Chain A
Amino acid sequence: MSVYSEKVMDHFRNPRNVGEIENPDGVGKVGNPVCGDIMELYIKVKDEKIVDAKFKTFGCGAAIATSSMLTEMVKGKTIEEALKITNKAVAEALDGLPPIKMHCSVLAEEALKSAIKDYYKKKEKVK
């Protein structure tokens, strides 16, 4: 099917970092009200740096590919750098998405923001 770029199909076929992280430092769970798709993102943080990221997604090809790409992009980034990742950046890294599927990448951005929020919340508690 040619609606998706080769890169999207690659990440869809072989999604990177599928699964959960035990005792994660942050978890983001978001859903898209339009299509009903759901994404869960887990991050492990060391010294303000994301050292591991994993995801679980109920969604279309684009949702799975953006989840996969996102986990690749955030790994090794500091929290501050990660916060700057937009859905557009994820889509671009995948060589683009069909317009009707751009919203799927929003899911990835939101999952990341929510995971980082969770991380901050957890850190507060530890303090």
Chain B
Amino acid sequence: MKYIYMDHAATTPTDQDVLKAMLPFFSEKYGNPSSLYSIGQESRTAIEEARGKVAKFIGAKHDEIVFTSGGTESNNFALMGVAWANQKKGDHIITSSIEHHAIINPCKFLEKRGFKVTYLPVDKYGIIDPDDVKKAVTDKTILISIMHANNEIGTIEPIAEIGKIAKEKEIIFHTDAVQTVGHIPVNVDKLNVDLLSLSAHKFYGPKGVGALYIRKGTKIVPYLYGGDQEKRRRASTENVPGIVGLKRAIELAEQNMEEESKRLTNLRNKLIEKVLTGIDETILNGHPTQRLPNNTNFSFKYIEGESLILSLDMEGIACSTGSACTSSMLEPSHVLLAIGLPHEIAHGSLRFTLGRSNNEEQIDYVVEKLKKVVNKFRSMSPLYKKK
């Protein structure tokens, strides 16, 4: 059976080219980049080249990039690092109610340590109102952290505008750009951000590597202590193969992004149209246009998401309900609740995120199977008949 993967927001397959670039750094070029002999320096050079590439790609300077183990670490580093470093100045953080758990949970941790966190609401499309940010600012605010685009519903936030507010008020501004880097243009100056998180495996790079952009002059303390790596901003021997892979993934994104995002936008629009016209009582979650090129998120009334996922899997289709990290939880997605969906509708939501492997034919196949399983579960649903 053919397998159709439509969960690219969860992760992407590592590109063959990326893998090829990484391989020598596992066995032949294994030197520790902190070692002074030549095999070590070879690794060092590879890292610094990658740093330059990442920096250039997002419009940053070479030494403003710190390599991390991925999006979660970058987010934790940004939040904790800024919170601890600026404690004397204030104890207030502003974020949104639809952030990834890699932001929400460190915020909750900081709340337990005496910080105050404002979780801004969103409108029905998942958009944060910059005015709300402005109103939330107090003279104790030290950090604003708002995601560039939402991982579940794909809504792209007005980051540049929020950044302007942060700049005026001299507050450090972080954005979690894990879903956008490699997919849509990301430039730290245009976005007015001081910190930015990115992760390689979301754009055909390997898992376990990412980066945090830290604008020069941003007051932050390390998150990991140990050796002197990364200019003492992040101890631990660098993940050289991963970093090399990240670099190669960025090179490929540079080449393909524009074309691919156009192609995916078309596919996405086709999927949205076919689902909304072909299956009744269906809602598109997220913004109709201000959304990631590859993201769709639907709610199918009267049925529950897990049954749909299992059935689609049996048809050879991989997609997700809400975010992959929440699939072991019973509560519906906090993002869907935040955009105002009632519990039972939030429960029946599916996310299809498209990528390189998807094409028109697959869209047709997915819609056909989706119709079948939606009908099956609606016919079993005690809620449906009450219509």
Residues of A within 8 A of B332 (CB): 36
Say yes or no for B224: interface residue by CB 8 A criterion.
no
Say yes or no for A100: interface residue by CB 8 A criterion.
yes
Residue from the list B328, B330, B379, B382 in contact with A38, Cβ < 8 A? B382
Residue from the list A12, A15, A18, A58 in contact with B303, Cβ < 8 A? A58
Say yes or no for A40: interface residue by CB 8 A criterion.
yes
Stretch at the interface among B160-168, B192-200, B211-219, B307-315: B307-315
Contact code string B370-385 (vs A, CB < 8 Å = 1, else 0): 0000000001111101
Contact code string A33-75 (vs B, CB < 8 Å = 1, else 0): 0111111100000000000000011111101100000000000
Say yes or no for A13: interface residue by CB 8 A criterion.
yes
Closest 6 CB pairs of A and B: A56-B382, A60-B306, A40-B382, A35-B330, A36-B343, A58-B381
Q: Does the CB pair B383–A38 fall under 8 Å?
A: yes
Besides A38-B382, A58-B381, 12 other A-B contacts (C-beta < 8 A): A12-B307, A34-B330, A36-B347, A37-B347, A56-B382, A56-B385, A57-B380, A57-B382, A58-B303, A61-B310, A64-B380, A100-B328
Say yes or no for A113: interface residue by CB 8 A criterion.
no
Say yes or no for A126: interface residue by CB 8 A criterion.
no
Q: Does the CB pair B304–A1 fall under 8 Å?
A: no
CA distance A29 to B331 in the complex (A): 21
If A60-B304, A64-B307 touch, whether A15 touches B383 (CB-CB below 8 Å) is no
CA distance A112 to B319 in the complex (A): 34
Q: How large is the interface on B (under 10, 10 to 19, 20 to 34, 35 or more residues)?
A: 20 to 34
Residue from the list A1, A18, A63, A64 in contact with B379, Cβ < 8 A? A18
Max chain B C-beta neighbours (<10 A), residue from A13, A38, A39, A58: A58
Residues of B within 8 A of A59 (CB): 304, 307
Q: B residues bordering A, Cβ < 8 Å?
A: 302-304, 306-307, 310, 313-314, 328, 330-332, 343-344, 347, 379-383, 385
B342 (CB) vs chain A CBs: closest residue:
A36
Q: Does the CB pair B328–A56 fall under 8 Å?
A: no
Q: Does the CB pair A57–B381 fall under 8 Å?
A: yes
Residues of B within 8 A of A61 (CB): 306-307, 310
Residues of B within 8 A of A20 (CB): 385
CA distance A124 to B119 in the complex (A): 55
B306 (CB) vs chain A CBs: closest residue:
A60
How far apart are B312's CB and chain A's nearest CB, in angstroms? 11
Residue from the list B307, B313, B343, B381 in contact with A60, Cβ < 8 A? B307
A104 (CB) vs chain B CBs: closest residue:
B330
CA distance A34 to B344 in the complex (A): 11
Residues of A within 8 A of B313 (CB): 1
A18 (CB) vs chain B CBs: closest residue:
B380
Residues of B within 8 A of A38 (CB): 382-383
B329 (CB) vs chain A CBs: closest residue:
A100
A32 (CB) vs chain B CBs: closest residue:
B330
If A34-B330, A36-B332 touch, whether A58 touches B382 (CB-CB below 8 Å) is yes
Residue from the list A4, A57, A58, A100 in contact with B330, Cβ < 8 A? A100
How far apart are A60's CB and chain B's nearest CB, in angstroms? 4
CA distance A110 to B251 in the complex (A): 58
Residues of B within 8 A of A9 (CB): 310
Q: Does the CB pair B306–A39 fall under 8 Å?
A: no
B330 (CB) vs chain A CBs: closest residue:
A35
